[in-house]
Structure 1
């Protein structure tokens, strides 16, 4: 099953990543710059998908906001089967099903195949070995910039948390906690990874900060548009 998923989903992404990386290297002569370009290119390619995911998430939040007073009332007034049937009636009135809550995971679902493909490609990409970039002596090895400490994964995580904070401002606390957990998972998996791979995700997270700022500033009008369509 995994082999089939890898073949039809991950491998095409890996091939596209490699194509852009090698083209960028031929253009710049630097693997560090090529990784920066790779991150920018794929963020631009995925922008429509992220925008669509944001619309779906906004609709989910709006429905949850509308139902919240009644759910709180039901939690206080009803128990057991009675509460269950009252909730079912409420969900039917709003055209909602509890499984729709998974829509809030769409941005993560978009990232996962790209994370797997990028990890598989850049963790073992031989040309990165011995290639330096700015303060990074070897993009094929962990950065070890501060004694034995890898600084780049920590910077990557800081940017990830900043983007999550900006994106989830004014949203339920669970969304912030979910984003924080994801940031910690990325730190765990990437801390001892090749500096080139971490550089890619650091640029990715820097772009995410700017995207989160843009979404935050646009969110009031964006959500009013979603509310009209609901």
Structure 2
């Protein structure tokens, strides 16, 4: 089988393997966890007991507005009840902005654990330093202070806001409580509110994520069957496809432990369909300082690369691209791709749809020399096909000798049979990286282009995958027809099968990825035509220079037949 067939089979295998890895079967909805027996409490140490707020006492709400987010706090527990992102529209509730906290839920509720005793700070009635707080662009940081005092004990929680960041500084202190070994347990809820129109495709991105010395852990909410524990963390959070709620430890310190627990899934009606949204609770443990204090930063916003980098401690790793062994290769390429796309968008004033078209053309121009080298290597391989076939025929019964003669031919002719494959494999990391980038980049969420309502979702009309198949077939047809190559049955089959296999894969991926590869295919047509014509001229030159059998020049077989009787007669003499 010719090398082009082997290359095509290899590429198809890669596509099928990658699609199976990237699109695992959707797990069945989890059944609600059965109630478990509550273990007997450990012996309690002597500690002041904070009076709990009576259930009937109303709590006040405190509103903080920044250019990027709006926050609603409750004076009961100084907890977050709402985090609204006005720059991002909900795809479930049209016309409404994204609100991260699920209805009836809270974030950053605290509980103090002292030995075997616990104090629920989330049920205390705090006093706020202001009823409203509004930050303008260009202003410095502003603080919102919650204080509580009673029964010989006190607590203070201070939130610090910046107008240009999604991070909120959190610091606190308790007095008259704690002591050696006191631990603060902070609740990050059971998952972010869903605002995507197709949660069946985004549920695999709903996960508990954490980073520390051991790398990045990504535990899908579907995968939290009972209890999962992570320790010594620089940051930890809970995320969806595009948004994140995370805690970041200050300096070089770490969180002692994070615990994810199974909770029942919820059902949500999205555009008339009832879908299952996976859920898992997440709590984070922090050791109190000797003075009863703690500090960290809370990131509450989109997974926007610049904002994640600004948060520090490697929070940009929150959206790991692919499996762990792929990340060292994929992440720098992803950073370069995102930087290029943002530069084209910001400096040229192009929409992201047109940015992907331009980027596809630019990548094709940059890889032009590699593609040309691969195509010319294939042409050189064609020149040696007769010699290679002769060796294969001559040493058909001796594979070892056949291999030795092949290697000898490669050395004598200075030819590497893999030289045509390597340039084709070099763009594979770019392909894999683009898949992850365009599937999860917040920049493409809700961005329309022509008939496409959202570049981050598959083409609803399947126009792009079909055009991609047509363009891939055109590239194959040009390569085989204009070059004058002899079309064996295997090559003809691959010309039809390859576009079909690639097309089926692209039916389920983001339309932005389809758009990029369609632009890349169209941009590659001129090079394919030029190389095909060059290959045709080379074929014609080979045929012209090939020795021709004639009456005056006996064929090699006939010549050998004439020589043998003469040699035998000479021996008799």
TM superposition score category, shorter chain reference: 0.7 to 0.9
Residues 81-119 of structure 1: CA deviation (Å, up to 9, x unaligned): 3x653x34642552369xx54444335313321210111
Over 3 Å counting, the alpha-carbon distance change for 1:172 and 1:161 in structure 2 is: same
Identify which of 433, 440, 452 aligns with 1:117: 433
Q: Match of 2:523?
A: 207
CA–CA distance in structure 2, aligned partners of residues 79 and 211 of structure 1? 38
Q: Structure 1 residue 19 and structure 2 residue 336: aligned? A: no
SS in 2 for 1:94: helix
Q: Which structure has greater strand proportion?
A: 2
| Unpaired runs of at least 5, structure 2 | 1-322, 543-573
Whether 1:127 aligns to 2:443 is yes
Query: Within 1, Cα distance between the matches of 2:367 and 2:360?
Result: 11
C-alpha contact 1:139 1:195 (8 A) present in aligned 2: yes
Determine helix, strand or coil for the equivalent of 2:517.
Answer: helix
User: Which of 386, 410, 414 pairs up with 1:95?
Assistant: 410
Quote the residue 1:57 is aligned against: 378
- 1:191 aligns with 507
Greater share of helix = 1
RMSD (Å), alpha carbons: 2.9
Higher relative contact order (CA 8 A, sep 6+): 1
Matched-pair contact (CA < 8 Å) for 2:345–2:355: yes
| Aligned residue number for residue 475 of structure 2 | 163
Cα contact 1:39–1:203 (8 A) shared by 2: yes
Distance 1:69 1:5 in 2: 42
Native 8 Å contact 1:167 1:212 kept in 2: yes
Unmatched 5+ stretches in structure 1: 226-230
- Note if contact 1:32-1:196 (Cα within 8 Å) is conserved in structure 2: yes
CA distance in 1, matches of 2:508, 2:351: 23
Aligned residue pairs, count? 211
| Post-superposition CA distance 1:158-203 (Å, at most 9, x none) | 1011101212331554455456544333223221111111101111
In the alignment, the residues of structure 2 paired with residue 168 and residue 106 of structure 1 have an alpha-carbon distance, to the nearest angstrom, of: 21
CA distance in 1, matches of 2:508, 2:536: 40
Change (3 A) 1:208 1:84: same
Residues 128/96 of structure 1: CA separation in 2 closer, same or farther (3 Å cut): same
Residues 19/57 of structure 1: CA separation in 2 closer, same or farther (3 Å cut)? same
Q: Would the aligned equivalents of 2:374 and 2:424 in 1 still touch at CA under 8 Å?
A: no
Secondary structure of the equivalent of 1:80? coil
Query: In structure 2, what is the equivalent of residue 228 of structure 1?
Result: none
